[in-house]
Amino acid sequence: MATEHRILLFDIDGTLVTTGGAGAAAWKQAFQELHGIPADIGQFTDAGMTDPDVGAKTFEAVIGRKPSAIELAQIVQRRLEHLPEAVANSAGYKVFPGVPARLRQLSHAGHLLGIITGNGDGAAYIKLARGDLMRWFSYGAYASAGIDRPEIVRQAIHRGEAMLGQDVPNERILVIGDTPLDVDAAHAAGCTALGVATGHFDAAALKDAGADHVIETFEEEFPGVP
């Protein structure tokens, strides 16, 4: 077991799993039911955005104005209602190579594994549950902590340190994600950024974004993490 425990914080979409378009399908159904427009979030948003930001930007693009707080809450909630069926029925859902074995290895080594994601709590659970991955994460920070990704990371650090009962030096806190936004959030919170090239960005793009380390898949060992 590792002599120095680390806090390892994982993004979900594009990092651990892909839902094969289930998230977009649930958004489309939510917009259709509430506003009569089957909105395609891919036309208006980028990978790595939080759920509230995705909902707000898509709403503004298709409705022509910013949503009120209650309108945004309703669209996020209606999307969540349809997400379980969308994920369960998605032929393109998959857990990325090496993920289950790597999470098991890191957990058994004594590191604390947490989720940091732009998903809300419920959406995160739904996406991970199909791949039987929730067992490795004892806590997390979600979009409900705020739409600012660095603040989500900070919230996760605070919770992780509370669980460990000690402050953890930032050099022993690793943020693992597949987008430049994950890299930026890690650095904004003073942590190390590990890019994984399983999403929309290849290794070169993640390096250019400033990732401290980059791996192609979870089949590779995490640099500097015993």
Summarised one tens digit per residue, pLDDT across range 69-99 is: 999 999 999 999 999 999 999 999 999 999 9
101 and 15 inside one domain: yes
Whether residue 63 lies inside any domain: the answer is yes
pTM summary value: 0.92
pLDDT at 43: 77
CATH number at residue 201: 3.40.50.1000
> What phi, psi does 119 have (nearest 5°)?
-75, 155
Q: Residue 11: pLDDT band by 50, 70, 90 thresholds? A: very high
Q: What's the pLDDT tens digit per position in 198-226?
A: 999 999 999 999 999 999 999 999 998 98
Mean pLDDT for the chain? 92
Structure confidence at residue 49 as a pLDDT band (50, 70, 90): confident
Q: What is the pLDDT of residues 104-133, one digit of tens each?
A: 999 999 999 999 998 888 999 999 999 999
Dihedral, 188, 218, 47, 80 alpha carbons, nearest 10: -100
Q: Of all residues in the chain, what percent carry a pLDDT higher than 90?
A: 80
26 lies in the same domain as 61: yes
| Long-range residue pairs from 169-172, CB within 8 A, at least 24 positions apart, any chain | 172/4, 172/5, 172/6, 172/7
Q: What is the pLDDT of residues 134-155, one digit of tens each?
A: 999 999 999 875 568 899 999 9
Residue 47 pLDDT grade (very low, low, confident, very high; cuts 50, 70, 90): low
> Can you tell me the mean pLDDT for 99-106?
98
Q: Which domain holds residue 175?
A: 7-19+93-215
Statement to judge: residues 120 and 201 lie in one domain: yes
In the chain, the number of structural domains is 2
CA–CA separation, 175 and 186 (whole Å): 6
Residue ending a domain, among 89, 104, 126, is 89
Cα Rg of the chain (Å, integer): 17
